[in-house]
Amino acid sequence: MTETIPVTDPRVARAVELVNREAELLDRTEYHGWEKLFTEDGIYVIPIDRDTDDFAGSLNMVYDDARMRQMRIARMTEGYALAAVDSARTVRTVSRFVPESVSDNEVVLRSAQILVAYKRGNHDLWAADLVHRIQLSPEGARIALKVVRLVNSDEAVPAAGFLL
Amino acid sequence: MTENASVPADFAESDRVAARLYTDPEIFEREMTQIFERSWVWVAHESELAQPGNFKSTYVGRQPVIVTRDRKGTLHTMLNRCRHRGASLCEKPSGKANGFTCPYHAWSYGLDGKLRGIPYPDGYEGVLEKGELSLKKLRTESYGGMVFATFDEDAESLEDFLGDAKLWIDRFMKQGGGYPIKVLGKHQFKFRGNWKIQLENTTDGYHFPIVHRSWMASVDAETADMMSFMTDPSAITHSLGNGHSVMQMVPEHSDLDVDDGTEPLQGRFDHVVAELSKTLDEAQVRKVVRAMHGTGFNLNLFPNVSMSAAFFRVLRPISVNETLIEHVAIGPDGPPELDIVNRERMRIHEHFQGPFGFGTPDDAEGWDRVQRGAHGGPDLPILVNRGLAREKASPEGWPTSHVTDETGMRAAYAQWKEMMGDD
């Protein structure tokens, strides 16, 4: 068994802090601020197949490079998309942080996300395993890859006006 | 409304329907028996059952079924329910099997639904005939790779039911660019609304530039231009009979074999053209890439499937105010060189469809709003009269009007009325 990496490792702590900050930006729908957390070639993906890492070769719910992510943020913020204008309010907690690997330039962090979305009298529950690959540099920590694996990714979920 | 009464004639008139068609649980119950247990209902595409032993679990109306291909290649649709005490036999969405064994008491069934084995059979001596306890089967027929099932033993043949829609199924499948079509994956989402709100939507050209403004703003100019059919007089909708209709948004892509070579391929696919040109000749490349957005029409088949441009939209009613939708991505089933085409088709699909697409969530919000609003003024009708005064018969005899008109909805409601009124 490999040695357990403590979450108190200062490099891991930077990654955890970023993931928490990211979660709050998404709950606040501060999407322009959220976009700045990604590296230039960062990928944001919500796969349908929980077991795949071949996102390009699979159909996903979201598979965003920087270009798609910028278009998505324009859609979420410019006021023409019915679903975004009247989106559910969300509150999420990200916890159960487990570092998968750590170096001075990169942390791969696994976690659990529980999100409650409230809209017009209905509370929807969204549970997911997250993986963040976070690049560390003197300028700051940035997300190179975020994978959201919903517990029910291969079944029906509500059409969403927010981001996971 | 009593158990056996017909739905009153004024619930669905030629230009309007009663709002309670969306909200009345008794009407919904009646739809499940009168429509979903009598009509041909789409259950699968043949590519999902390519090999003997392949199965898919799905629903016909609210009833769970398994669709299989047996060792001889015959397709079967059977209730997903053990004949002993009713347990579901298969909880996997798809796979390959030799048969199905009930997890409860291990009664086992073949791919054709025949009861094969019962453990400790001595207790059944004199009380049970295995031959009488096959899984309950539905009639299963397919056309153009589209597999349908019906509970109605006396229903007309699938081909008769599809009628003039067959021509459009043939045209739809041409988007394989010379290859058969296969399923690439599917999005699934739910909305809080009645199934007929979705049935209407794939023949609703009118909502497109309004609801999908944010998608239009995000695509390249060529794609946005392709979908600018609002004032194009050649963009028309035909009613094809039996509730089916076809909405031609991009009429120049209705028959993909018709190509005079003057239409430039979209610049966004240059990298695909470059890659394919290494192995395919120019004509083949053009065929596949020109079909990247699918066909130029939505073919709506009553009651549960639409063959919509480059995907299948499948609806499943759950209750009077909840509906599950599948958006099934498809692409050419060819050599590995075509993988780049299917990757591109999946990216196009993700861009619009599914619970996080740039199109679907806005549609779903619109449908939720219809369901909520329809409780107001229960005596106020839902209007489906757009274009009624300009609807004319096409040379084929199909009632035809502009693509933004509600000809397709009127076709579906005429079939609804026919099935709901028939005791």
Contacts A154 to B, Cβ<8 Å: 93, 188
| Residue B4: pLDDT over 70 | no
The strand pairing partners of B76, in sequence order, are: B68
pLDDT value for B230: 87
Closest by alpha carbon to B411, among B246, B298, B280, B243? Answer: B243
| Residue B226: pLDDT over 50 | yes
Mean pLDDT score across all residues of chain B: 95
Contacts A56 to B, Cβ<8 Å: 343
Cα separations (Å) of A52 from A44, A55, B88, B214? 15, 7, 28, 30
C-beta separation of B38 from B152 below 8 A? yes
CB spacing of B355 vs A157 below 8 angstroms: yes
pLDDT value for B6: 61
* Single-letter amino acid code for the residue at B124: Y
Here the tokens at position B113 are 């639904």
CA pair distance B385, B12, nearest whole angstrom: 12
Nearest CA in chain A to B336: A57
pLDDT value for B93: 96
Per-residue pLDDT, averaged over A59-84, amounts to: 95
Burial of B102 (0-12, 13-18, 19+ CB in 10 A): buried
CA pair distance A46, A148, nearest whole angstrom: 5
Provide CB contacts within 8 A for B247, sequence distance 6+: B202, B203, B205, B237, B297, B298, B300, B403, B408
pLDDT value for B378: 80
Coil vs helix vs strand at B30: helix
What's the pTM? 0.96
Cα separations (Å) of B109 from B68, B76, B102, B114, B150? 12, 13, 8, 5, 21
pLDDT value for B1: 43
pLDDT-based confidence at residue B5 (cuts at 50, 70, 90): low
| Residue B422: pLDDT over 60 | no
Residue with tokens 């927010």: A162
C-beta separation of A136 from A107 below 8 A? yes
pLDDT-based confidence at residue B228 (cuts at 50, 70, 90): confident
Provide CB contacts within 8 A for B98, sequence distance 6+: B53, B111
pLDDT-based confidence at residue B216 (cuts at 50, 70, 90): confident
Q: Which of B214, B268, B346, B360 to mutate to test the interface with A (most CBs of A within 10 A)?
A: B214
CB spacing of A80 vs B366 below 8 angstroms: no
Report helix, strand and coil shares of chain B as percent, to nearest 5: 35, 25, 40
CA pair distance A107, A120, nearest whole angstrom: 39
CB spacing of A157 vs B188 below 8 angstroms: yes
A125 interface with B at CB cutoff 8 Å: no
A75 interface with B at CB cutoff 8 Å: yes
- Beta-strand ranges (E) seen in B222-274 are 236-241, 244-248
Give B93-128 pLDDT, tens digit per residue.
Answer: 999 999 999 999 999 999 999 999 999 999 999 999
pLDDT value for A81: 92
Per-residue pLDDT, averaged over B69-77, amounts to: 98
pLDDT-based confidence at residue B147 (cuts at 50, 70, 90): very high
Give B361-387 pLDDT, tens digit per residue.
Answer: 999 999 999 999 999 988 899 999 999
Cα separations (Å) of A92 from A27, A31, A46, B50, B399? 7, 15, 16, 42, 52
Contacts B372 to A, Cβ<8 Å: 120
Closest by alpha carbon to B358, among A64, A98, A10, A125? Answer: A64
CA pair distance B359, B226, nearest whole angstrom: 16
Nearest CA in chain A to B217: A75
CA pair distance B148, B77, nearest whole angstrom: 9
A57 interface with B at CB cutoff 8 Å: yes
What is the DSSP track for A139-160? TEEEEEEEEEEETTTTS-EE--
CA pair distance B99, A129, nearest whole angstrom: 34
- Range B223-232 contact pairs with CB under 8 angstroms and sequence separation of 24 or more: B223/B266, B223/B268, B223/B293, B226/B250, B226/B293, B229/B205, B229/B403, B229/B404, B230/B205, B230/B404, B232/B403
| Residue B348: pLDDT over 90 | yes
The strand pairing partners of B191, in sequence order, are: B323
* Single-letter amino acid code for the residue at B201: N
Give A27-52 pLDDT, tens digit per residue.
Answer: 999 999 999 999 999 999 999 999 99
**Which of B185, B191, B213 comes nearest A159 by C-beta?**
B191
How many percent of chain B have pLDDT more than 70? Answer: 98
What is the DSSP track for B152-186? -TTPPPHHHHHTTHHHHHHHHGGGGTTS-EEEEEE
